[in-house]
Amino acid sequence: MEPFARIGNNLSADFVNTFVSFDGDGGTLRSASDVVRFLVTTGAIAAAEAERVRDKLREDVAAERFLATALELRTAVRAALTAIERHEPIGDGPLAAINAVLAADAGFEQLAPRDGGYHVARRYMIDDAAIALVPIARDIALLIATPGAPVRQCAGEGCVRHFYDDSRTGRRRWCEMAICGNRAKASAFAKRQRAK
Ligand SMILES: [Zn+2]
């Protein structure tokens, strides 16, 4: 089963949403290998790059450091998304954390076939496992640098998931209709019933 709820429609939002797991047990990134799996599943890094990252994480110390860096980045990205949503400036702490990951960048572009044509794919030289986190830092950096980027938190009561709304109407409200949308409808219905 797909372990990550990829409802964010965007790498940064999906990454932040790993903060939540519906078993209420500390999110879906619990180990360094969870982080690597997330990066491959979302296409942030290629499978061959993931192999290189796993090589770098054989020692427990390296794996722990990588997980800690990833979780620190997630805290920063979460703060940044919240700031964008509230039209507030990004805090110095989150900015520094994002910039620190960007500073590790060691990547290059490659032409790769896609859909009968080509696209420019970014590849990473994984000399250090932390380089695998660069795609997330690049993604949030571009969102921060885009005025009015349409990121939002789900309107569901108590729901902390974020998403990128590229819908035509720009009116997406829920992380998942099946979860928060229906819950809100049911609660509105119950309220109407009580009011009768
Ligand atoms: Zn929700």
Q: For 50-96, what is each residue's pLDDT tens digit?
A: 999 999 999 999 999 999 999 999 999 999 999 999 999 999 999 99
Secondary structure of residue 149 in the 3-state scheme: coil
Secondary structure of residue 163 in the 3-state scheme: strand
166 C-alpha to ligand 1 centroid (Å): 17
What 3 state SS string does 102-140 have?
HCCCCEEEEEEEECCEEEEEEEECCCCHHHHHHHHHHHH
Cα–Cα distance measured from residue 95 to residue 103, given in angstroms and rounded to the nearest whole number: 12
Backbone angles phi, psi at 40, to 5 degrees: -75, -45
Cα–Cα distance measured from residue 163 to residue 118, given in angstroms and rounded to the nearest whole number: 28
Cα–Cα distance measured from residue 196 to residue 194, given in angstroms and rounded to the nearest whole number: 5
143 C-alpha to ligand 1 centroid (Å): 21
Residue 5 falls in which region: left (phi positive, over 0), alpha (psi -120 to 50) or beta: beta
Q: Does pTM surpass 0.85?
A: yes
171 C-alpha to ligand 1 centroid (Å): 14
Q: What is the pLDDT of residue 183?
A: 83
8 C-alpha to ligand 1 centroid (Å): 10
103 C-alpha to ligand 1 centroid (Å): 33
- 17-58 pLDDT, tens digit per residue, is 999 876 666 789 999 999 999 999 999 999 999 999 999 999
What tokens appear for 63 in the block? Answer: 């794996």
